[in-house]
Amino acid sequence: MLYQLFSFLDKHFSIPGLGVFQFLTSRIAMSILLSLFIATVFGKRMILFLQKKQIGETVRELGLAGEQQKKGTPTMGGIIILLSVLIPTLLFANLDKVYIRLMILCTVWLGIIGFFDDYFKIRARKNAQSKGEAYKKQNSDGLAGISKIIGQVGLGIIIGVTLYFSNAVTVEREIVPNTAIAASLQKGERIAKDTNIIIRNINGIERRFVKVKTPITTIPFVKNHEFNYSKLVSWMGSGAEKYTWIVYILVVTFIVTAVSNGANITDGLDGLAAGVSAIIGAALGIFIYVSGNYVFADYLNVMYIPNLGELSIFVGAFVGACIGFLWYNAYPAQVFMGDTGSLALGGIIASLAIIVRKELLIPIFCGVFLIENLSVIMQVSYFKYTKKKYGEGRRIFLMSPLHHHYQKKGFHESKIAVRFWIITILLVVASILTLKTR
C-alpha cells in the first residue's frame, strides 16, 4: 500500500526522498526490519495475551525430558509469524503482482487452517478441565486430519491453476538470431498473451527476448537444466501437451501438501521449525532475487522470470518473522507456534519453490522436513507390518519424528535443534551451488 501511495506522490508531486521506494533493495531491507520489529515487540504482547486467555500447551506425557516445564507455555504463537509476514508485505510490496497476491493468499489460507486446528484442541482441553477429566493430546478434538488435507489440496489446486493459466506468469526466451520466434521456443511453450519482443543490450550485444507461457522447472546438477512437464504426457502421442495442466496441478498440490505437513511434523522442539524455515527462506530469497534480475540470470544461465523480484520483499518479511519469533521460541520457549504457524511455514516454502521453478530442489534444502516425514512413515509402516507378521509391533526408532528419537537417546533438545540448523545450512549451500554446478 505504501509502495502505491509513494509511487503516486513521487510521480505527480516529485517529493524528495520518496524515490527510495522504487529501489527493490531498499524495500527488502525495510521489510526485514519491520518484520523483526513486529515479531519482537508485538510478540511479547501477544504472549501476554495468550497467557491471560490461558491458551497454553499441555503435557504430552511422552516420557521426554523437560515436558513438565513446558506445561502451560502459550501456543498459537504462529499468529506472530503471520502478522510479521503480512504487514510488511502489504506495506512495501507492489500488490499488483500476481506472485505477491498468491503468497498472501497462501499465508492467510494455511494460517486459518492451522488456527482452527489449534482452537479446537484448546477448546477440547478446556472442556476436559471443566469436567475434571484428564486431557490426552493424542486423542484431542483438533481439526480432523481429512479436513486439513482438503484445505491443503484446495490451496495446491489454486496455486497450480494460477501458475499454469495466468498470463502474468511467464518466463523469458531468447530469440535465436535470424530465426522465427516459434522456432526459438521449446515443445509445449507458447507466446504469452499481449507480449512484445523485448530488446536488451547485454555486454554490448543487442539481444531479443519474448515472454512465454511454459510449465517448466529446473533440474539440479544437469547441464541442460530445464524440464518441461509436458514430457510427462508426451507418451500419449501428438497433441497430448494440452493435458499437461492436469499433471502440473497434481504435482503442485502434492508438493504443497507434503512440505506443509513436513514443517508441521518438524515443529516439536524449541526453535527447530522456526530456525530451519528461516535458513530455507534465506536460500529461496537468493534464488528469487537471481531469477528476478535478468543480468544475474543471464550470467548464471538460469531462467529469467519477469516480475519475480518483487517477491523478495515477501521473503525478506518471512525470514525476519522467523528470526524474530526465535527470540521467544528458542530454548526455553516462551511461546509455541502451533499449527497456526507450522502449516503456514511449510506451505509458504513449497509455494515459493514452485514459483521460482526450483521444486526439484526441495528434497535437498528441505532435507530436514523430508527426513522427519519419512521417519514417521517408516515407523508407522514397520510397526503395522511387524504387528501383523509377529503379533507385536516393533519400531525402527525409539520414537518418531526423528528429533524425538534423539531426545530419547539423551540429547538435549537445544543441541538437536542447532544441529538440525547446521544440517539445513549445509543442504542450502549445496542447493545454491546448483546455480553454477552442472
Could you give the dihedral angle defined by the CA atoms of residues 136, 138, 143 and 146, in that order, rounded to the nearest 10 degrees? -150
The pLDDT > 90 percentage for the chain reads 55
Cell numbers for 276: 530451519
Confidence check: pLDDT of 107 > 80:
yes
Q: Which residues face 227 on adjacent strands?
A: 217
Confidence check: pLDDT of 204 > 80:
no
Is residue 135 within 8 Å of residue 125, measured between CB atoms?
A: yes
Task: Kindly report the average pLDDT of the chain as a whole number.
Answer: 87
Q: What is the DSSP string of 206-271?
A: EEEEEEEE--EEE-TT-SS-EEEGGGGSGGG-TTGGGGHHHHHHHHHHHHHHHHHHHHHHHTTSTT
Q: Using alpha carbons only, how large is the chain's radius of gyration in Å?
A: 23
In 123-241, DSSP assigns E strands to: 171-174, 190-191, 198-202, 205-213, 216-218, 226-228
For the chain, give every domain's residue range: 24-433
Confidence check: pLDDT of 138 > 70:
no
Range scoring the smallest mean pLDDT among 15-24, 173-182, 317-326, 374-383: 15-24
Confidence check: pLDDT of 62 > 70:
no
Mean pLDDT computed over 391-417: 92
Is residue 41 within 8 Å of residue 325, measured between CB atoms?
A: no
Tell me the HSE value of 278 on the side-chain side, using a 13 A CA sphere.
Answer: 23
Strand-strand pairing, 198-202 and 216-218: unpaired
Confidence check: pLDDT of 247 > 80:
yes
pTM of the model: 0.91
Mean pLDDT computed over 48-71: 68
Query: According to the model, what pLDDT value does residue 15 have?
Result: 62
Report which of residues 314 and 210 the model is more confident about: 314
* Angle subtended at Cα 413 by Cα 57 and Cα 126, rounded to the nearest 5 degrees: 5
CA distance 240 to 236: 6
pLDDT tens column, 79-103:
999 999 999 999 999 899 999 999 9
Mean pLDDT computed over 337-351: 95
Cell numbers for 161: 491453476
